[in-house]
Amino acid sequence: MKRLLGCLPVVALVWVAACADTAPVESPSPSPAPSAVANARPNVLLYLIDTLRADRVGAYGYEAPTTPALDALAGEGLVFEQAYAPGPWTLPSVVSLMLSQPMCRHGVVVDGMKISARATPLAAVLGEAGYATASFIANSYAGRPAGLERGFDVYEGPIDEPAPSVGAFLDETKDQPFFIYMHDVRPHDPHEATQESLAPFGHVDPKTLKRIRNRSLQYRRLTRVDHTAGTPLGSTENTNEQTAALTRLDELAASYGHAYDARIREADRKLAQTLDQLRSRGQLANTLVIVVSDHGEELGEHGGWLHDHSVYDEVVRAPFIIRLPGGELGGTRINAAVSLLDVAPTIAELTDTPTPSDAFEGRSLAPFVAQPHGATNGPFVASMRMNRKKYYRPWKRSRGDQNLVVRDGDWKAIWNVEPDTVELYDIAKDPGEKNDLRALEPQTATRLAAFARDYLERCKTRRTTPERPTPLSAEATERLRALGYVD
């Protein structure tokens, strides 16, 4: 993509025309960009909704009214239909998003770890390029405890109601382009939705909501008894208790789904409020808005609940919507599989911001903007899991603690590292990943597993050392406890 930087304006649409020699275009005919937009560096709003699976979003085909604001944004934006979160839980996934590096390289996979002192997060890159930067986060994993406050002029977290803070920041930042990172956590368990939010989805009485909370917290605790006790993972045999806890969650499946949807709806309202803060100040037109998630949520599809213990699509396929300034190319849908490692390089390119060499491992998605249906991918590692904290006895043997996802066309392979097994799915025909085709397609399975193995070997040679942990603040600890992550 570096070869395109010389002809890159801030609005991708103009980029399409200006770079016609390097990127043949079949995409929709350009309409003139507003002059105020074409001459200014765009602002950037990167908005992350924690634990939001792509298939619970209206723009991705969900029928219940979870996401009216996000759907409207999608109508004005580019929708990446097969985007993969870098990992199945918050900490490694958000670090990967901000550094554009896979977790096998940055190594931040257990709470308390921080990014390397030499790492260059997106905020630092944009700040160096003259952007005013602000972070408003509700999940501590996305902030200071992981070193992710680096590069932000304003850092507020953890907070529940970011919209007013965004307004204040916008009022003070008038002569500079800005980069705002927002991280909402509402769809994360324990799914304590209000009755008003639940109404469009199904009745769940307060007693059942409490049961959902207690059972999910109980299951989380059962998975980390060794980590909490400081003993090697797997020391405690509690397979039966874990299996029973999963069964108790199965019993609440319908209510769990309603509560999850209701919390998504609450998060969608907060997104709408934040967009209103921009709109009411006349700043939305020149803002690149990107909405993503850090991972999804398993709702019993492969036997599990919550997240971080598998890499099936319900856990790692994320919504990814880019609204270009002025809403250019609105409604474009891009079917090729991509990784959220690509978010930072894409922002850098669309804002004409130089990046330090070798800092970002993802690639800019500008070619997909230019050619939504023509650009293609070869095989690539879309997501991974490196478990160092929890122990899922029901799947320990079959999955191990490390899994790499390789996408290649419609193929999705999962290489389970420790047992050295591969699963192979045709995502177009089998989006639920129920029909493992490794026996029918052994050559493809072997090829993609070898690709994953080579990738992991190369990644290890580039590994950086995370910083030593610093103690969490009392407030951050309390919030992680409320989410069930610490005892």
Q: Which residue ranges make up the site for Zn ion (CB under 5 A)?
A: 50, 90, 294
Q: Which of 428, 319, 316 is nearest to 92 (CA)?
A: 316
Least gap, CB of 277 to Zn ion (angstroms): 24
Least gap, CB of 377 to Zn ion (angstroms): 26
Instruction: Say if residues 405 and 382 touch (Cβ distance below 8 Å).
Output: yes
Instruction: Say if residues 223 and 245 touch (Cβ distance below 8 Å).
Output: no
Least gap, CB of 87 to Zn ion (angstroms): 9
Judged by beta carbon, residue 43 or residue 90, the one nearer Zn ion is: 90
Judged by beta carbon, residue 183 or residue 438, the one nearer Zn ion is: 183
Least gap, CB of 147 to Zn ion (angstroms): 17
Q: How many CA atoms lie within 13 A of 239 on its CB side?
A: 7
Least gap, CB of 304 to Zn ion (angstroms): 16
The token pair at 373 is 């249906």
Please tell me the distance from the alpha carbon of residue 253 to that of residue 212, in angstroms, as a whole number: 9
Residue number with the shortest CB distance to Zn ion? Answer: 90
Please tell me the distance from the alpha carbon of residue 181 to that of residue 256, in angstroms, as a whole number: 29
Calculate Rg over the CA atoms of the chain.
Answer: 21
Least gap, CB of 94 to Zn ion (angstroms): 7
Please tell me the distance from the alpha carbon of residue 374 to that of residue 353, in angstroms, as a whole number: 26
Instruction: Say if residues 172 and 134 touch (Cβ distance below 8 Å).
Output: no
Helix-strand-coil split of the chain, %, nearest 5: 40, 15, 45
Instruction: Say if residues 191 and 258 touch (Cβ distance below 8 Å).
Output: no
Distance of CA 472 to the CA centre of its chain: 23
Q: Is 154 helix (H, G, I), strand (E, B) or coil?
A: strand
Judged by beta carbon, residue 122 or residue 334, the one nearer Zn ion is: 122
Judged by beta carbon, residue 158 or residue 367, the one nearer Zn ion is: 158
The token pair at 444 is 């493809």
Judged by beta carbon, residue 385 or residue 438, the one nearer Zn ion is: 385
Element (H, E) at 9: none
Judged by beta carbon, residue 189 or residue 401, the one nearer Zn ion is: 189
Q: Is 215 helix (H, G, I), strand (E, B) or coil?
A: helix
Judged by beta carbon, residue 111 or residue 423, the one nearer Zn ion is: 111
Judged by beta carbon, residue 50 or residue 268, the one nearer Zn ion is: 50
Least gap, CB of 265 to Zn ion (angstroms): 18
Partnered with residue 178 across adjacent β-strands are 132
Least gap, CB of 367 to Zn ion (angstroms): 29
Residue 340: CB atoms within 10 Å: 30
Least gap, CB of 188 to Zn ion (angstroms): 6
